[in-house]
Amino acid sequence: MGAMCEICENRKDLELYIHIPFCIKKCNYCDFLSFPSSAEDREEYVRCLVKEIEKTGIVLNDILNNKDTYQVRSIFIGGGTPSLLSGNQIKNIMQVVQKYFLIKEEAEITMEANPGTLTKKNLSAYKDAGINRLSMGLQSADNSCLYLLGRIHTWEEFLKNYELARKAGFENINIDLMSGLPGQTMSIYKKTLEKVMALRPEHISAYSLILEEGTPFYESEEIHKKIPNEEADREMYQFTKEILAENGYDRYEISNYALKGKECIHNLGYWSGVPYIGFGLGASSYFEGTRFSNERNLEHYKKEPYVPFMMREDYTVLSQKDKIEEFMFLGLRKRAGISKKEFRECFHKNIMDVYGEVISKYEKIDLLEWIKNGEMLRLTDAGIDVSDYIFCDFML
Ligand code: SF4
């Protein structure tokens, strides 16, 4: 075997995503695959999920002898609101995962949790089940913003849940924040960041609100009028960068910040081409150079929670061109950038032979830069601000 690049080497690594599509109620801006549920719905769903994981594990074991080939480096239980599941339900899911997949000892195991759904009891059961990282959706510390967003919690409720999580021994917590919210002024946003900084979470994801088609926000003219203008949005974005840097958070990806050593392994894997398998309704996978995703209709999923990859409607084998493009636009999201050497080792081509013209064009106007003695290529600060525009140019 020749020299290893990050992607080839990481083929030994595997990440798992488990989707829990239930929420207490739908937020006004949300277009994720999530909906309200009864206790029976959740119980039945967990049964299907366990069946799907079991069947996938058996098939992978037979075909790929995966216990030797792949090692799970991260598991992400996302949603929806996974913290609507009881401690026992999360335990059942984790047990079946552990039975069929080889999990690294130091694996990062994240669960998304919505404020208002955490208790001392479920937190301690999640911890026992092996969850070692929580991702909490706060979005804003301002109660009127939270109300408008249709969130189920107030700032005070979030705070109680955050403290419970710390007391339960969670030492790795992410907080999700949003800027550009309807009616949000710079001073409201500043207060949110100050309050969050005082809590010292290990990780912060900070995104601008996007009005997604089909959501109540998208449909409402009132809301459109209240959205801060581009200048205000940019100001919030600049302020996020500054205050988080001042407080010791490293911006390791366009919208993600972490204290030293607390970068999200799961997300870094996604941006570095590490294969992942998704379980549950609508979950997508990237495995053995192919992409596919699960059924999005709950009734269909419940009838047939496991469908072989090759029979999925959107089963796509990535071409070399697809892989090169993904390497570029996912890799460039990382502050560390992409490696020239890795590119050569993965694709047996010199990056400048493929992208010389585009790279030079953006280098000249200071939107891309070579660092580490010309080995790593990354977006400059100004480049990050127009990253979507730059990424389009890397389509072959
Ligand atoms: S809690 Fe999250 S997933 Fe659920 S409706 Fe709100 S934004 Fe969507």
Q: Which of 13, 21, 3, 10 is nearest to 280 (CA)?
A: 21
Residue 308 has pLDDT above 90, yes or no: no
Instruction: Output the residue whose Cα is nearest ligand 1's atom 3.
Output: 80
Mean pLDDT of 49-68: 79
Burial track 254-268 (b if 16+ CB lie within 10 A, e otherwise)? bbbbbbeebbbbbbb
Burial level of 156, CB count in 10 A (0-12/13-18/19+)?
exposed
- Region 171-180: mean pLDDT is 97
Strand partners of residue 257: 204, 251
pLDDT at 163 (0 to 100):
98
How remote is the C-alpha of 241 from its chain's centroid?
19
* Domains, in order of start, for the chain: 6-271 (3.20.20.70), 319-396 (1.10.10.920)
- Dist CA 354 CA 338 (whole Å): 14
Amino acid 313: pLDDT = 81
pLDDT of residue 17 exceeding 60, the answer is yes
| Rg of the chain taking only CA atoms, in angstroms | 21
Tell me if 182 CB under 6 Å of ligand 1.
no
8 Å CB contact between 205 and 244:
no
Q: Binning pLDDT at 50, 70 and 90, where does residue 62 land?
A: low
Residue 139 vs residue 65, higher pLDDT: 139
Among the atoms of ligand 1, which is closest to the Cα of residue 24? Answer: 4
Nearest CA to 188 out of 147, 143, 149, 154 is that of 143
Query: Is 60 exceeded by the pLDDT of residue 2?
Result: no
Which two tokens mark 325?
Answer: 């493009």
Q: How far is the CA of 111 from the centre of ligand 1 (A)?
A: 14
Query: What DSSP string runs through 132-168?
Result: -EEEEEEE-S-HHHHHHHT-S--HHHHHHHHHHHHHT
Choose one of 22, 31, 32 to mutate for the ligand 1 pocket test, by most ligand atoms within 8 angstroms of C-beta: 32
Q: Is the CB of 83 under 6 A from ligand 1?
A: no
CA distance 54 to 87: 20
Q: Is 80 in the pocket of ligand 1 (CB under 6 A)?
A: yes
* Model confidence at 4: pLDDT above 50: no
Q: How many whole angstroms from its chain centre is CA 135?
A: 10
Query: Using omega within 30 degrees of 0 as the cis cutoff, is the peptide bond preceding 261 cis?
Result: no
Neighbours of 152 (CB within 10 A): 16
Q: How far apart are CA 257 and CA 193, in angstroms?
A: 13
User: Which stretch of DSSP H or E encloses residue 368?
Assistant: strand 368-371
Higher pLDDT, 225 or 11: 225
Question: In the predicted model, what is the mean pLDDT of residues 348-362?
Answer: 96
pLDDT the model gives residue 68: 59
Give the Å distance between the CA of 238 and the centre of ligand 1.
26
- Each residue of 134-167: pLDDT tens digit? 999 999 999 999 999 999 999 999 999 999 999 9
What pLDDT, on a 0 to 100 scale, did the predictor assign at position 385? 87
Q: Per residue in 84-107, pLDDT tens?
A: 999 999 999 999 999 999 899 999
How far apart CA 284 and CA 33 sit, in angstroms, is 12
**Range with lowest mean pLDDT among 26-40, 57-71, 366-380:** 57-71
Residue-wise pLDDT tens digits, 231-242: 999 899 999 999
Phi, psi torsion values for 68, nearest 5 degrees: -95, -25
Rounded Cα distance, 21 and 78, in Å? 8
Q: How confident is the model at residue 310 (pLDDT cuts 50, 70, 90)?
A: confident
Measured in angstroms, how far is the CA atom of residue 21 from the centroid of ligand 1?
9
Give me the chain's average pLDDT, please: 93
Cα(147) to centroid of ligand 1, in Å? Answer: 13
**Contact, 88 vs 46, CB < 8 A?**
no
35 pocket-lining for ligand 1 (C-beta < 6 Å): no
